[in-house]
């Protein structure tokens, strides 16, 4: 039978697995980018030429942002597992996750000048950043209600 505890445990396992997977992928960035550069050499953006360095920098920056997002997501899940849901610390984690999503959009936006697909990825990162920000705002309101409820007799 699938329970909320199993679902939470699965989420924690997946976050940790993705954390390790991104590290492994970061080690393979030069190989992947070189392959992409020689396979898709036609001009698909405003800037001509090799995309090796722009894409490498973009992917490494995104990997750092992704790892930081996963770190804070893991902390958030651990707090939820400990039944500490509506606490200010979780709002902090959500805030940082949203900022890292928005920060990841910057290198992809710049890369969009080499390959237009970068603009789409940047848009997706901004969308997720805003979505997490809305969830953070809901959590902040819930924290206030929880604190108010705790002081009510």
Domain residue limits, the chain: 4-150
* C-beta of residue 74 within 8 angstroms of C-beta of residue 16: yes
Quick one: how many helices (H) and strands (E) in the chain? Answer: 5, 0
Encode the chain (153 residues) as per-residue pLDDT tens digits: 788 889 999 999 999 999 999 999 999 999 999 999 888 777 788 888 889 999 999 999 999 999 999 999 999 999 999 999 999 999 999 999 999 999 999 999 999 999 999 999 999 999 999 999 999 999 999 999 988 887 776
* C-beta of residue 126 within 8 angstroms of C-beta of residue 109: no
Residues 6+ apart with CB under 8 A from 65: 100, 101, 103, 104
pTM (two decimals) = 0.91
First and final C-alpha spacing in the chain: 38
- CA 41 from chain centre, in angstroms, equals 29
């Amino acid at each position: 039978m699938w329970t909320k505890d199993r679902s939470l445990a699965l989420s924690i396992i997946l976050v940790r697995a993705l954390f390790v997977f991104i590290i492994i992928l970061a080690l393979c960035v030069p190989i992947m980018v070189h392959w992409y550069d020689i396979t898709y050499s036609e001009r698909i953006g405003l800037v001509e030429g090799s995309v090796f360095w722009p894409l490498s920098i973009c992917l490494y920056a995104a990997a750092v942002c992704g790892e930081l997002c996963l770190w804070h997501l893991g902390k958030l899940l651990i707090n939820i597992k400990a039944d500490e849901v509506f606490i200010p610390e979780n709002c902090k984690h959500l805030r940082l996750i949203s900022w890292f999503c928005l920060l990841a959009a910057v290198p992809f936006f710049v890369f969009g000048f080499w390959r237009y697909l970068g603009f789409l990825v940047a848009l997706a990162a901004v969308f997720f950043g805003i979505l997490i920000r809305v969830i953070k705002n809901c959590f902040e309101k819930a924290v206030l209600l929880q604190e108010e409820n705790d002081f009510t007799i």
